[in-house]
Structure 1
């Protein structure tokens, strides 16, 4: 899909046999074309549109929170560049952890459709999320391999014949979180964003962890709504509402306290 909009691609369900700072604390197929533009900067993605309720005064940050936000923004600002060896290796690593039993034939290959990219060159799908969206997928695969494989292979629940494409959905989740948390602003302008920065100041991997929680929550919503590919935006809206509600609960002091964290399996 290009930046002018256009169609997205839904993947037919695979068979079950297919197979800018530094003070933060660190912690350890077949396809069918649809008609909605749902991925990428500047596109009319329903799940990521800013709402009037988000237009609130900015929140003051501690020096530690400011540095952590800057560091995360530096990650967000890096586009995926297929000419950079580090980016190439990260993409190859993603394949290895996703399909360890299958050798990748090239960075441009029809094989990538098995993971839920729109075509044979996944680099064209990173416009909406940049390099951080690839980092998010890798973090998910390495830290929660069971949940990652369950979602990749659509192993849980009574699923639709036409499923959301796993990898492209992952990029869309990165984009949605960046918008929801207002991470491109100098200071957060909504309470959810300000709350998240408290978690980020304690855990430099908070964004990656929240990504994993969100991906699993989205799939849980997908199953609960008995969704098919044309329902993707509705599922993302429901996911965002639930996630915002959980982040603002008074008894949440870390991301591991979120009710949806329990959906993840290592």
Structure 2
């Protein structure tokens, strides 16, 4: 599998002026801000969040049923697929994401300044997929199609008292994919954490469990962002809080389906 340890790259701060999507205020930070670390903190900081493990995790191993092994293999096959802008299926998925995000606005090309409106770092979103691969695009598209109201609320920052400096939606989404891959230990032959082993039980019942958990995680992250009154320099702390909450909920004994997670309710309210 590809090395996602350096995934995420740099991160574009988004200045928020008013409610709704203010497309004129998405921009890359100045050279002085880059020198101070404000434009590149996400890629570096999130790697630390995602890689954290308890000391005894490396000594654990959980046996899988044949069905769980099969489901894990299929999911790992998805993780192995890098985004390739020359593949028609990948091109169509990217166009579909735009149509789901901005149905009222025609896309002028797969390389276009318009993509910054969604929170990509530049005019070519393919450069931001290196940390999450094609599955990160599939996750965003699943979110847009399955929970369109929540997707639009997060895209347009329509809920809560927002920060002056907001996280860019699309790049944050790629990093959430990366965080979940690490949290669930999905690149291991067998899960080495109880959270990873527990997730495979959900995956064997629902092959789209990873995509659903992604939606829950994204909505939970934004909920934590608002609760913590966070700004872009706080994103690492928000991700730590989001991961901790997800792990806690997944390990609750009464949870038998992802739809029973308390954070799932954030998607449907």
Structure 2 residue aligned with 1:265, among 246, 265, 268?
A: 268
Is the alpha carbon distance of 1:147 and 1:83 closer, same or farther for their aligned partners in structure 2, counting shifts above 3 Å?
same
TM value normalised by structure 1: 0.90
Gaps of 5+ in 2: 1-5, 30-37
TM-score (norm 2): 0.89
Which of 27, 38, 41 is the matching residue for 2:42? 38
**Are 1:143 and 2:119 counterparts?**
no
Pairs aligned (count): 253
Q: Where do residues 10-21 of structure 1 align in structure 2 (5 Å cutoff)?
A: 10-13=13-16, 15-18=18-21
**Which of the numbers 176, 179, 183 marks the counterpart of 1:176?**
179
Structure 1 distance, partners of 2:17, 2:126, is 23
Q: Could you report, residue by residue, the CA deviation over 1:43-82 in whole angstroms, capped at 9, with x for unpaired residues?
A: 8623212323432411000000000000000000000001
- The answer for unaligned runs of 5 or more in structure 1 is 20-28
Tell me the residue number matched to 2:220: 217
- Counterpart pick for 1:64 among 42, 62, 67: 67
* 1:159-170 aligned within 5 A: 159-170=162-173
Larger fraction in helix? 2
The answer to which of 129-138 and 44-53 deviates more is 44-53
| Alpha-carbon distance, 1:8 to partner | 1.9
Deviations 1:24-46 (A, max 9, x none): xxxxx322432444238xx8623
Contact 1:46/1:237, CA 8 A, preserved across alignment: no
Out of 118, 133, 140, the residue aligned to residue 130 of structure 1 is: 133
Q: After alignment, is 251-260 or 44-53 more displaced?
A: 44-53
The residue aligned with 2:232 is 229
Residue 6 to residue 247, structure 1, CA distance change in 2 (3 Å): closer
Corresponding residue for residue 50 of structure 2: 48
Q: Distance in 1 between matches of 2:264 and 2:46?
A: 29
